[in-house]
């Protein structure tokens, strides 16, 4: 796993814990760094794509024939179940123009060993990577120092670093949770989608999904907690929700894109860098913990496919992240929910495939909206078997889902506003 993913897990309660590692000093042997810049900026990855916030990274400039910077990090002792990993976020010239390299000092051989070079990375685009120092005892001195060196072979061009960190990570049991396991919903059981507001369960319903903030777990049922994790909720003057646009950390929102073309008031969460994914996961962690405290059995994270939200619009190429970043973020928040003993549903997004859904993220079942209408139910059942809950919003979709998976999986038709009984437009229908 990457340093960024593991660091985020450490912050939100996932499958690895991070021991403190501090930059002791940075010394320039040859060359210089940019005016007004400081090595302290290397502690956080906050640049991605073509970002160029001068105060938040460090530019390394050769002097005459080369550049040579040295870094010392102080880390604790490394146990048998721990490892050392370097986090790096680089931007600079192509390898053929100027070769920039990162080396670590091997204390056993007393030599510098190159552990990274800017080969095969995009030219002048921020690129995050991780490097494991193995075995760790070869790189940690008795005084706790790990020594790194950032250098160039000539003076053709500068390089830039937004992140240079060293961490010590400890394996923990991924997904054990307080009870040692989590429970899946009963396959094919009666289901109701009540994210628009709680009401008494219809006859035959034993599985229900309700909103994390306003909803409560239904007695005697399997309860799924709805969290809009990849986009904001619209601002609502009467309710002060932590997931509303105004209550999200504003630097994590893609305000410049405007709101979702189909769901007014919802804004995309920026998942373009590991630092932003970590911070977003930390914001969501409190909501997931609320689900656990209320007694929910599982959680569904909505808008997993947010990177596609502006497809077909003039802003399609302006979304600064894609499927890979969404998967990395999904892994963080899924691990946190698992750590609290809750199962996690993949919400929509049939294009993930089995490896991404099961092996990378670790989803346990699927909640699919309109898979019958669009002929996608088989994409979910091929990954999750009978552990699929299908929600349709018209009669054609209901028929399609019932025909495709209704014999073994839960299928329900609701109105698109998920209204409550007695409200205009309310609809509840099953196969």
Of 185, 220, 181, the closest CA to residue 390 belongs to: 185
Domain 3-171 is of which CATH architecture?
Sandwich (2.60)
Which pLDDT value is given to residue 128? 83
Contact 229, 302 (CB under 8 A): yes
Tell whether the model's pLDDT for residue 6 goes beyond 60: no
Contact 133, 115 (CB under 8 A): yes
pLDDT band at 237 (very low <50, low <70, confident <90, very high): low
Residues 6+ apart with CB under 8 A from 196: 211, 417, 418, 419, 420
Write out pLDDT tens, residues 271-318.
999 989 999 999 999 999 999 999 999 999 999 999 999 999 999 999
pLDDT band at 238 (very low <50, low <70, confident <90, very high): confident
Distance of CA 298 to the CA centre of its chain: 18
| Cα 139 from Cα 29, distance rounded (Å) | 21
| Cα 427 from Cα 429, distance rounded (Å) | 7
E-strand stretches of 123-188: 127-133, 145-152, 159-171
Which pLDDT value is given to residue 4? 39
Write out pLDDT tens, residues 363-416.
999 999 999 999 999 999 999 999 999 999 999 999 999 999 999 999 999 999
Of 195, 184, 190, 209, the closest CA to residue 410 belongs to: 190
Tell whether the model's pLDDT for residue 108 goes beyond 80: yes
What's the topology of domain 190-430? TIM Barrel (3.20.20)
Instruction: Give percent above pLDDT 90 in the chain.
Output: 74
Strands across the sheet containing 100-106: 22-30, 68-74, 145-152, 100-106, 111-117
Interval 29-53 mean pLDDT = 90
Q: Is 232 helix (H, G, I), strand (E, B) or coil?
A: coil
If you count DSSP H runs as helices and E runs as strands, how many of each does the chain have, helices first? 6, 20
Contact 282, 11 (CB under 8 A): yes
Which pLDDT value is given to residue 70? 97
Write out pLDDT tens, residues 246-265.
999 999 999 999 999 999 99
Write out pLDDT tens, residues 138-195.
999 999 899 999 999 899 999 999 989 887 765 543 333 333 479 999 999 999 999 9
Interval 97-116 mean pLDDT = 95
E-strand stretches of 201-334: 205-211, 222-227, 298-301
Domain boundaries, the chain: 3-171, 190-430
Here the tokens at position 110 are 């007393």
Fold match, 3-171 / 190-430: no
To which residue do tokens 């991404």 refer?
356
How deeply is 203 buried, as exposed, middle or buried, from its count of CB atoms within 10 A (0-12, 13-18, 19+)? exposed
| Cα 21 from Cα 15, distance rounded (Å) | 19
Write out pLDDT tens, residues 328-348.
999 999 999 998 999 999 999
Tell whether the model's pLDDT for residue 13 goes beyond 80: no
| Cα 140 from Cα 106, distance rounded (Å) | 8
Task: Identify the weakest region by mean pLDDT among 16-20, 73-77, 158-162.
Answer: 16-20
Tell whether the model's pLDDT for residue 1 goes beyond 70: no
Which pLDDT value is given to residue 170? 59
To which residue do tokens 């929600």 refer?
391
């Amino acid at each position: 796993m990457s340093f960024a993913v593991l660091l985020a897990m450490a912050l939100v309660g996932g499958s690895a814990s991070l021991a403190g590692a501090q930059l002791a000093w940075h010394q320039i042997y040859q060359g210089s760094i940019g005016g007004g810049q400081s090595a302290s900026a290397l502690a956080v990855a906050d640049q991605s794509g073509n970002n160029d916030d001068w105060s938040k990274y460090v530019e390394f400039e050769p002097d005459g024939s080369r550049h040579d910077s040295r870094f010392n990090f102080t880390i604790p002792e490394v146990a048998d179940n721990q490892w050392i990993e370097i986090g790096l976020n680089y931007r600079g010239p192509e390898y053929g123009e100027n070769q920039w390299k990162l080396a670590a000092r091997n204390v056993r051989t007393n030599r510098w060993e190159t552990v990274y070079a800017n080969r095969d990375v995009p030219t002048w685009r921020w690129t995050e990577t991780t490097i494991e120092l193995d075995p760790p005892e070869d790189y940690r001195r008795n005084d706790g120092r790990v020594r790194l060196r950032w250098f160039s072979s000539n003076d053709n061009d500068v390089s830039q670093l937004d992140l240079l960190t060293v961490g010590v990570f400890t394996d923990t049991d991924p997904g054990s949770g307080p009870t040692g396991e989590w429970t899946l919903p009963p396959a094919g059981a009666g289901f109701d989608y009540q994210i628009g507001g709680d009401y008494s369960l219809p006859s035959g319903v034993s599985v229900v999904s309700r909103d994390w903030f306003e909803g409560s777990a239904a007695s005697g049922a399997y309860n799924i907690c709805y969290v809009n994790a990849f986009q904001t909720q619209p601002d609502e003057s009467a309710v002060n929700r932590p997931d509303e646009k105004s209550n999200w950390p504003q630097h994590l929102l893609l305000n410049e894109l405007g709101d979702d073309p189909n769901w007014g008031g919802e804004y995309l969460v920026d998942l373009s860098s590991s630092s932003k994914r970590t911070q977003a996961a930390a914001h969501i962690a409190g909501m997931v913990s609320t689900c656990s405290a209320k007694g929910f059995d599982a959680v569904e994270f909505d808008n997993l496919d947010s990177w596609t939200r502006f497809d077909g619009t003039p802003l399609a190429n302006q979304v600064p992240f894609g499927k890979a970043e969404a998967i990395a973020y999904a892994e963080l928040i899924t691990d946190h929910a698992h750590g609290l003993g809750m199962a996690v549903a993949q919400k929509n997004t049939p294009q993930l495939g089995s490896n991404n859904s099961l092996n990378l993220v670790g989803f346990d079942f699927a909640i699919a909206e309109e898979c019958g209408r669009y002929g996608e139910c088989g994409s979910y059942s091929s990954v999750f078997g009978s552990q699929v809950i299908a929600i349709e919003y018209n009669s054609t979709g209901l028929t399609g889902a019932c025909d495709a998976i209704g014999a073994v999986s839960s299928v329900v038709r609701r109105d698109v506003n998920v209204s409550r009984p007695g409200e205009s437009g309310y609809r509840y229908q099953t196969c």
